[in-house]
A and B are shown apart, each in its own frame.
Chain A
Amino acid sequence: MSLALVFDYLVSPTFLRGAMMTLLLTVCSLAFGVLIGLVVALLQESRTRTGQAVTLVYLWLFRGTPVLFQIIFIYNVLPSFGIRLSAFVSAVLALSLNEGAYMAEILRSGLQAVKKGQRVAGLALGLTSFQVMRHVVVPQAARIVLPPIGNQMIGMLKLSALVSVIAVEELLLVANQTASATFRYFEALTAAGIYYLAMTTVFMALQMLLERSLDPKKRQRARNVPLAERLLGITRAPAIR
């Protein structure tokens, strides 16, 4: 065991590139996943026959099969229909489509959690349906869906390791290849683990900041609770809400 080697791996360009690839995969797939989820959630809310049928089939397919299967299927089967995608695009496509299915459910639950009376009150003030959605429903729904979306963000970071099966040079593949070549499994995998923990920590902090920015009361009256306590949720200060 050599901690010096762990450090060498951490700062090596290969590992850094692997980590950047993991981050890129995560961010792209999350962004497209949220977009797909939003479209699907609104289609379901719209209550049109076709919309509901399409979303039902989509949710059934992508929640009903393993992500690993979806990744391999898109990369290996689509080319036989003449659709040739790079490993990276296949990976993002599979992860986004999978993510979208879960996002749709999260976003829909958020929209439905805002009571009908709130929309009626907005309409009664003379706001248009769009303005009611934008200024009354979405701000309330956003606060409800943020914790589960934070979970999805962290989940996606870890899920992205799966695309190593189609040879996308992400963090886990890099670590595994390095270890196989040098037989330094402990050092290579420890370095990868540190990268994963660092990135999930950043995501958690991001989620906390977002939650605060969406809660007007907390923004105005935040107490000085140490960051570590807040992150770990061990603060003993009475909850504001």
Chain B
Amino acid sequence: MATTDIRPGEAATTAKPQLEIMAIDKSFGSNRILKACSLNVAAQETLVVIGPSGSGKSTLLRCVNLLEPVDAGNIFFEGRDITREADKAHLVRREIGMVFQNFELFPHLSAAENIMLAPVRALGMSRADAHDIATALLAKVHIPEKADAFPDELSGGQQQRVAIARALAMKPKLMLYDEPTSALDPEMIREVLDVMAELSAEGMTSIVVTHEMGFARRAADRIIFMEAGEIIETATSDAFFGGSVNERTRRFLDQILH
């Protein structure tokens, strides 16, 4: 069915990267969170972002879908400079899905209604069509039986998978995951990571902030390490897990892997 779709990407490598972040700066008060960060993400690529807390990972994601305006620099999404489209931010966000650490499902709506809200309200889709999409997406995240359940009746892992389905309902061209498994009990992390890995394998362009190195090894094309607002290292997955990382990255990895 064409509606569930993660489109399997036109060409694996296009001349222009899908997302081009050029020297963006972001401060909160006198606190400089992002320092001239630059980054390219190719279509269908899965990029994992690691780094200590406070290093600017989340802020980087929030700048990409314009939840935070950048102070300087540019972000090109499919060739358009979206930092110049602040008044049309909601249109940009329809093409970029986001998943949060705390799920942020809408508690007054059932799982299916959570998924249907944006297609119906933002795109004007009929409820019947939106319901078809919700049904298909719930199957895709492996919980077709939970359509009528409310968020507080779902486990954390199930809630996060509904949240992923909710983002997919807008047929985004890019998915942002902000520590999607940090709030989950250990036994539920796997089911969420599996869904994310499947999406990546299908060619969904993704930026994932996570410390799940198992996921990085399985799904990431590239891994970047951030510290104090700077991108310290960018490595392909092979190079990264082959051990060729610089000293600061190595120290961080030793810490998170105990």
Interface residues, chain A, CB within 8 Å of chain B? 117-118, 120-128, 131, 135-136, 139-140, 143, 216-217, 241
Contacts and interface: CB of A to CB of B under 8 A. Distances in A.
A217 B107 CA distance: 11
B110 A126 contact: no
Q: How large is the interface on B (under 10, 10 to 19, 20 to 34, 35 or more residues)?
A: 20 to 34
Contact of B106 (A124, A131, A136, A241): A136
A216 B170 contact: no
A143 B90 CA distance: 27
B154 to A, nearest CB: 13
Main secondary structure of the interface of A (DSSP, over half): helix
A47 to B, nearest CB: 17
Contacts of A120: 67, 100, 104
Nearest to B95: A126
A143 B108 CA distance: 9
Given A124-B67, A126-B90, A118 B122 contact: no
B93 A124 contact: yes
Contacts of B95: 126
A125 B117 contact: yes
B108 A140 contact: yes
B70 interface: no
B182 interface: no
B65 interface: yes
A135 B96 CA distance: 20
29 contacts: A117-B102, A118-B106, A120-B104, A123-B67, A124-B65, A124-B67, A124-B93, A124-B97, A124-B98, A124-B100, A125-B94, A125-B117, A125-B118, A125-B122, A126-B90, A126-B91, A126-B93, A126-B95, A126-B118, A127-B117, A127-B118, A128-B122, A136-B106, A136-B117, A139-B108, A140-B106, A140-B107, A216-B108, A216-B110
Given A126-B94, A127-B121, A131-B121, A121 B108 contact: no
B230 to A, nearest CB: 25
B200 to A, nearest CB: 20
Given A124-B65, A125-B170, A217 B121 contact: no
Contacts of B94: 125-126
A117 B105 CA distance: 10
A127 B90 contact: yes
A97 B174 CA distance: 50
Q: Looking at B67, B121, B122, which has the most chain A CB atoms within 10 Å of its CB?
A: B121
A217 B91 contact: no
Interface of B: 65, 67, 89-91, 93-98, 100, 102, 104-110, 117-118, 121-122, 150, 152, 166-167, 170
B62 to A, nearest CB: 8
Contacts of B170: 125-126
A124 B91 CA distance: 10
A115 B258 CA distance: 35
B98 A216 contact: no
Contacts of B98: 121, 124
Nearest to B103: A121
Nearest to A129: B90
Contacts of A126: 90-91, 93-95, 118, 122, 170
Nearest to B92: A126
A135 B117 contact: yes
B206 to A, nearest CB: 15
A121 B122 contact: no
Given A118-B104, A126-B122, 5 more contacts: A117-B102, A127-B117, A127-B121, A135-B117, A217-B150
- The 5 nearest A-B residue pairs measured at CB: A126-B94, A121-B104, A125-B118, A124-B98, A126-B93
B104 A131 contact: no
A131 B96 CA distance: 18
A114 to B, nearest CB: 10
